[in-house]
Structure 1
């Protein structure tokens, strides 16, 4: 790794990329590939050396690991009984791709066609598919929908689990078609998730994109480097001031500054730098470079509501974790063969379905897991248990990100506004009712004793909605806070250039016009692949 700043506190590069998450790692790789352009990649967190980053099931250990996690919290959420919702985000090389649940889900063809229909030309499904394929190294080989030989490994699961298989069979019995590829011709159906892993190890964006590029002389990576503000000359971004291991530094960008901090940190950095709602900036004594009311608006996230079942057989991860001998044998198996329960992602099997037949495409995603806990990242239950959660794919509710002060180290104020719309409330309730049908289908009967949470007494729509409010939580997919579009609140254009500013782009989940129908890591990598080409074309 090139730690460039040791000899100087003033540096110059063609491009500065702020944030080494899923998007930043792609940009760093693609922009330095020709050997001509120099890139400085800034990451507020450390290198990705933590053991549990590289073991798939390690996401449970990293959930509240301050060394690699921003550990954010929302403000009290009105729709969730005033609860603060924990928001883990990666603060490490690879960003959230180093601590996430590893699922490779692109979303629906219709998501991207909707982006295009909203005026974002070049972002329809046919436009983005080549970039999904370019990124991918699909273990099943290439076809019309998948690529082979790209940087990002996409693999099938390496652990046979009867519960996960029974869930798929139960979903089929409940009327949901079987689907062996959620990222192929159609998303709808029940099947197994693929993961961003290779040979039983996590393939974060840092592993997939940064490792092959680290030796390049034109790529300079600085860790423990917190960006404090973007520097402007008039309305042109010309550099970044940052703090590396406590020492203030400045770097200049000859061509562009690329902000890839994610849906929370990118709008925060723009606001700290004077690009955002002018009233908010003045309130914190920040000089206004551009009054951009959309910066930090339109925050969306997926809510998940979990159903916990007591299992009749000692075959769950709970049983392994709570038995010292089985736990040790599982560890030995993983380190010897890279198989077994330590390869479990944050969803083994799952389903996508419509809560209403009038809908054009699925509005619910189910994640099935062969373990159970009161809260993700906490101790597993002492009994044999498994979990299936409902995730509403296209929430209508919108929230916001706002700086609390001019201090770059202060966490932003996060308001997601879950369950604010009637559609969101109804969809979650209907999704739970269909999930319960699956969990009580014949294929799962031999494995179930009872429903622990919410429990058989919760039956009415009102009681189910109350359960959503009491127990619903994030599934960690914040987006859309620097939204792409043509309307007055849109922050970036179709090339992800910040409107009204030269030399500045935002490249990450914050630019999504609205939330995709699925997990967000694969779409973010696609976005960065596509924009890398745009940046290189513009430079020519």
Structure 2
């Protein structure tokens, strides 16, 4: 493989822009570029359309999309520091991508998170504006929203989540623990230490996904959507002396190989796990790795597939002594799920109309770690803690489930009229870094993913202390201490843990993904040898090619990545339009034909 040329007799379909991946960022880019009715856009998606996928539109059916053709079915390598466990990294493999299987959460993080990227194009203010642009927020009377940060005209419809009784109880315990209530803090980024409500990408009982940017009322004739088509590699010409992306080579579900030609740009938007393999199969990546798979290296870019980040997550389960606090009775008791499902089908309401996460909190852990020698002696930059965060950025996040639930391996459902919930603990800005590497040059083979969870001792320290803090909140808080019957299932004893060290085995045994994989095609400034992209998402060393999804971000935000993916899509579309305009103006000045 190497530089490939479209010959004059090639019958490839021709478009202005080809977008490789119909996930969150890709759909946003396509929808925004199509606002120019003269632009001809092709979206290539490996999975099916989502129009008839009930468990996409019904948020409560999210997990039914996994371990099937609608999931990429990526599993990590065994990870040494979490007991050599492998973790499922489920991702949406259909139009709309992971916006159709995620927790529907709109948690932007703080402006400082994006300022920390050090790229003028992606400041905190700009990112918050991009995220706002995608949104139409639907307020509720009980929720005090910050209207200055919410959009009113985007294709993504959001609304606050009505809390179950258990969430109101957890909220009170969070406040008791010194985490004051700021209703819209997860939209405004106003506090690194407090609790609040999180808007969801659900409106009138229907999940809103990125596919809505190019379907339904946003469907435009200048967008062509091809589903069940896998992108093998980018095709290049070197007529200009520098490799220039001219199109893509694909394989259909039936095995037919088809090429498509791009007049202006190719945009790769396949996510943190799948964008690096497309670049690598195209000859862009670590030279030694490419050559090991028989791929000719066009650009030796050592950062491709490196810098893999995520937010490590641990669930801590509790049994509740009183009925009606959790929503288990609507899902697991007797034949309740049948009537719950019927309610959704008839009225688009009830348990299945939303995602069963409750109240959320951010927390700083400085004071709680003051007794740790590791924390005190760790290197730190001026004004930042050992995790690289300022005092205005959170170390961790908490939230509760509103019934028993979590990853599929959590199968101890309270079917015998018992009631359980989890406090979820999430670590921000971990030091551990993983990788995405090629298993094969065959595009049908998933890449090799190693998240290397907990491989840095500070990550274990922070996560253990966070679990300890979370358990104290539940066991001591006035909203929850009188309703906790014990751990769930009852062979766990974490409600008696008092030392930080008690929690390390729980972290090793329970650490899992929060599905926030990022950073594997990172942007960076000139001179950064590990940067794959420049600040405008352009792949270094070639022309006409960008990567625009969460793989492009240098450091994962201290929030969730759904809104970041929308923001990257909005920003990418603006930059692509600006660059096209400048090319037209330049061509006009020089009398050239564009």
Please tell me the TM-score bracket, short chain as reference: over 0.9
Structure 1 unaligned segments of length 5 or more: list them: 1-7
Distance 1:352 1:257, change over 3 A: same
Distance 1:164 1:344, change over 3 A: farther
Distance in 1 (CA, whole Å) between partners of 2:506 and 2:433 is 21
Report if the CA contact (8 A) 2:468-2:497 is conserved: no
Runs of 4+ displaced beyond 4 Å: none
Aligned with 2:311 (options 296, 299, 302): 302
> In the alignment, which residue of structure 1 is the partner of 2:179?
176
> In the alignment, which residue of structure 2 is the partner of 1:108?
110
Q: Within the alignment, does 1:478 sit opposite 2:517 as a pair?
A: yes
In the TM superposition, residue 144 of structure 1 has moved relative to its aligned partner by 2.2
Aligned with 2:211 (options 176, 189, 206): 206
Secondary structure at the residue paired with 1:144?
helix
Distance in 2 (CA, whole Å) between partners of 1:519 and 1:377 is 22
Q: Within the alignment, does 1:23 sit opposite 2:35 as a pair?
A: no
Aligned with 1:243 (options 251, 257, 271): 251
Q: Within the alignment, does 1:467 sit opposite 2:525 as a pair?
A: no
Q: Within the alignment, does 1:52 sit opposite 2:88 as a pair?
A: no
Secondary structure at the residue paired with 1:522?
helix
> In the alignment, which residue of structure 2 is the partner of 1:232?
236
Distance 1:457 1:374, change over 3 A: farther
Distance in 1 (CA, whole Å) between partners of 2:345 and 2:305 is 43
> In the alignment, which residue of structure 1 is the partner of 2:542?
501
In the TM superposition, residue 377 of structure 1 has moved relative to its aligned partner by 6.6
In the TM superposition, residue 81 of structure 1 has moved relative to its aligned partner by 0.9
Q: Within the alignment, does 1:277 sit opposite 2:277 as a pair?
A: no
Distance in 2 (CA, whole Å) between partners of 1:99 and 1:462 is 35
Q: Within the alignment, does 1:451 sit opposite 2:487 as a pair?
A: yes
In the TM superposition, residue 281 of structure 1 has moved relative to its aligned partner by 0.4
Distance 1:454 1:398, change over 3 A: farther
> In the alignment, which residue of structure 2 is the partner of 1:395?
430
Q: Within the alignment, does 1:151 sit opposite 2:155 as a pair?
A: yes
Distance in 1 (CA, whole Å) between partners of 2:259 and 2:236 is 12
- Cα deviations by residue, 1:337-372 (Å, 9 ceiling, x for unpaired): 333211332522111111114751211111210122
Report if the CA contact (8 A) 2:108-2:189 is conserved: no
> In the alignment, which residue of structure 2 is the partner of 1:126?
125
Report if the CA contact (8 A) 1:260-1:506 is conserved: yes
> In the alignment, which residue of structure 1 is the partner of 2:297?
288
> In the alignment, which residue of structure 2 is the partner of 1:5?
none
Distance in 2 (CA, whole Å) between partners of 1:136 and 1:527 is 14
- Cα deviations by residue, 1:215-258 (Å, 9 ceiling, x for unpaired): x2211000000001111113111110001232110001100000
Structure 2 unaligned segments of length 5 or more: list them: 1-9, 140-144, 368-384, 582-594
Secondary structure at the residue paired with 2:196?
strand
- Cα deviations by residue, 1:369-421 (Å, 9 ceiling, x for unpaired): 01224744754333311011110011111111000111111110101111111
Report if the CA contact (8 A) 1:213-1:219 is conserved: no
- Cα deviations by residue, 1:477-510 (Å, 9 ceiling, x for unpaired): 0000000112110000111000111000000000
Distance in 1 (CA, whole Å) between partners of 2:11 and 2:512 is 43
> How many pairs were matched up?
527
Q: Within the alignment, does 1:539 sit opposite 2:580 as a pair?
A: yes
Distance in 2 (CA, whole Å) between partners of 1:24 and 1:443 is 43
- Could you say which structure has the larger radius of gyration? 2
Aligned 1:43-122 pairs, distance under 5 A? 43-48=45-50, 49-64=52-67, 66-116=68-118, 120-122=119-121
Alignment TM-score, normalising by the size of structure 1? 0.94
Distance in 1 (CA, whole Å) between partners of 2:177 and 2:359 is 15
Distance in 2 (CA, whole Å) between partners of 1:152 and 1:266 is 24
Distance in 2 (CA, whole Å) between partners of 1:374 and 1:93 is 24
Secondary structure at the residue paired with 2:279?
helix
> In the alignment, which residue of structure 2 is the partner of 1:219?
223
Q: CA RMSD in A?
A: 1.8
Secondary structure at the residue paired with 1:427?
helix
Secondary structure at the residue paired with 1:87?
coil
In the TM superposition, residue 61 of structure 1 has moved relative to its aligned partner by 2.0
Aligned with 1:319 (options 317, 326, 329): 329
Distance 1:447 1:457, change over 3 A: closer
Aligned with 1:524 (options 560, 565, 577): 565
Distance in 1 (CA, whole Å) between partners of 2:443 and 2:574 is 31
In the TM superposition, residue 60 of structure 1 has moved relative to its aligned partner by 2.5
In the TM superposition, residue 90 of structure 1 has moved relative to its aligned partner by 0.8
> In the alignment, which residue of structure 1 is the partner of 2:414?
381
Distance in 1 (CA, whole Å) between partners of 2:493 and 2:152 is 43
Alignment TM-score, normalising by the size of structure 2? 0.86
In the TM superposition, residue 82 of structure 1 has moved relative to its aligned partner by 0.7
- Cα deviations by residue, 1:257-298 (Å, 9 ceiling, x for unpaired): 000000000001101111000000000000111110010010
